[in-house]
Amino acid sequence: MTIKATFPDGTVMLFGDSYRKWIPQLQEFCSHFEMPRPEVVKCSTKWISYGGIKWCPENDLESELEYENQGRSIKDFSKWKPLNQIERRTLEKYIKP
């Protein structure tokens, strides 16, 4: 799974399940960069798998996919939907506003 996190300052970052699930990676990002809880949507497309990349800015996705060299394109990441109730609660539990 891949998630898109939109922060209040307009920063848009992508996270996904690689060597760790997306929630601890988002939690690490928010803590390290002192960012508040973002608005989050998800995509069922598998996360970029090479080298265990943790996160990337949305506008770097295409170059990361090219580097991954698996024939995927940014179009594979075009169907976003809201988190379900359990995912939302988990986000609220681990990421402070």
Domain ranges of the chain: 2-94
CA distances to 25, 28, 34, 55, 93 from 80, rounded to whole Å, are: 19, 23, 26, 17, 22
Buried b (16+ CB within 10 A) or exposed e, 18-57: beeebbebbbebbeeeebebbebebbebebbeeeebbbbe
pLDDT band for 54, please (50, 70, 90 cuts).
confident
* pLDDT surpasses 80 at 50: no
What pLDDT, on the 0 to 100 scale, is given for residue 32?
95
Mean predicted confidence (pLDDT) in 77-89: 96
Query: Mean pLDDT highest for which of 16-25, 62-71, 83-92?
Result: 83-92
